[in-house]
Amino acid sequence: MIETRQDLEALDCADDLREFRAQFELPPDVIYLDGNSLGALPRRTRERVAGVVEREWGRDLIKSWNTADWISMPQRTGDKIAALIGAGKGEVVAADSTSVNLFKALSVALRVNPGRHLIVSEKTNFPTDLYVAQGLIAQLGGDLELLLVDGTDEALEAVLAERGAQIGVVLLTHIHYTTARMYDMRRVTAAAHNAGAVIVWDLSHSAGIAPIDLHGCDADFAVGCGYKHLNGGPGAPAFIYVARRYHERFMQPISGWMGDARPFEFLPGYEPAAGISRYLSGTPPVIAMAALEASVELILEAPMEAIRRKSIALCDVFIALMDRHCADSALELISPRDGAWRGSHLSYRHEASYPIMQALIRSGIIGDCRPPDLMRFGFAPLYLRYVDLWDAVMRIAEVLRTREWDRAEFRSRQSVT
């Protein structure tokens, strides 16, 4: 039972991950509850990027493609991400953006069962996932169709049972970007396979924060971004996973030179590289890739079981404090209370979500909003303390009690946060 701030200080003292906080750059006057949208800067990442800029680029110039092995950064970083998502070496590459990688994955997935014309996703999936599917359908034409269903395991199983012979691909986000609801990956993947479909998972809100076992679930394809819980920096490279059984069967559609079998022979005809390397396209963004690689290395030093355990505990404590201190404020929690099926952020509904969040940000409590009426609070176990939750909730309660947010400067939608 959490009664006082000292109770949370005691949890911090007993925290297995408490030493990791010192490895991040965190402003002293900020409680950062938005790591699910942009992860904080690891200090080793700053040092790694400085080394790339000052030494590898600044001194060694083009030689660093060989001496610093820039050329293999997508595969090397991909192998490190693979260890976080239950994939094997040579099944993940870091490259491009989540949207581009999703385009690649969907394009290949649709060719696994060419006689099937349905892509199934959920109605409230992250918009870019739906946009990419819609754009691909418009490009390919024919009778391809995007079928949107309610976002529950049961709704998906029902449509797979009813229309399974028509479904080629199931496209889902493992942890929902607003509600934080988590799918049962093993159950849903098995249901898709039983219907003869392949599945593409978006891991953007789960990679680095929750245990994932792509091999154990027999997943087909997965994508994810590098700047949320992987802490790779704004616009960090994304990643793509392709199960080994598909590597040699298909060629992805963006056949750039880095995905060629012999890129430095500069041949006029494209020949896809062996394995996961064929999912590369253009030249890797070395500075951004160095930031992502260093950040992933830090995450790998923390046991994923401990990360997940603290993630659940942080959310549980925040919910309990909000229930107690903000009960009369018209806030509605829309995220699952059961931590087993919840990611590492919480969303609350309030008709004045935007001005409330602006007032909180002004006072050093940084979360974010999703329209029309949601406030999101993210919980990054490697650098967030339990005591931060007490301080944040006390400030939230004060803003709601005094209606500080109900002023013109907080209602103007100028901020992108």
The token pair that represents 159 in the structure block:
């449509």
Strands of 116-211 (E only): list them.
118-122, 145-149, 167-173, 198-202
Environment class of residue 284 by beta-carbon count within 10 Å: exposed (0-12), middle (13-18) or buried (19+)?
buried
Active-site option among 260, 376, 379, 385:
376
Active-site option among 32, 126, 221, 354:
126
Could you tell me which of 129, 191, 123, 133 has the C-alpha nearest to residue 162? 191
Environment class of residue 376 by beta-carbon count within 10 Å: exposed (0-12), middle (13-18) or buried (19+)?
buried
Active-site option among 79, 202, 368, 388:
202
Residue 228: active-site member: yes
Residue 126: active-site member: yes
Residue 123: active-site member: no
Residue 202: active-site member: yes
Active-site option among 116, 228, 278, 342:
228
**Exposure on the CB side of residue 415, measured as CA atoms within 13 A:** 19
Active-site option among 24, 32, 177, 227:
227
Q: What's the CA gap between 291 and 53, in Å, rounded?
A: 11
Q: Are strands 345-349 and 332-333 parallel, antiparallel or unpaired?
A: antiparallel
**Side chain identity at 311, as an amino acid letter?**
S
Residue 227: active-site member: yes
The token pair that represents 381 in the structure block:
């176990």
Q: What's the CA gap between 242 and 244, in Å, rounded?
A: 6
For the annotated catalytic residues, the residue numbers are 126, 202, 227-228, 376
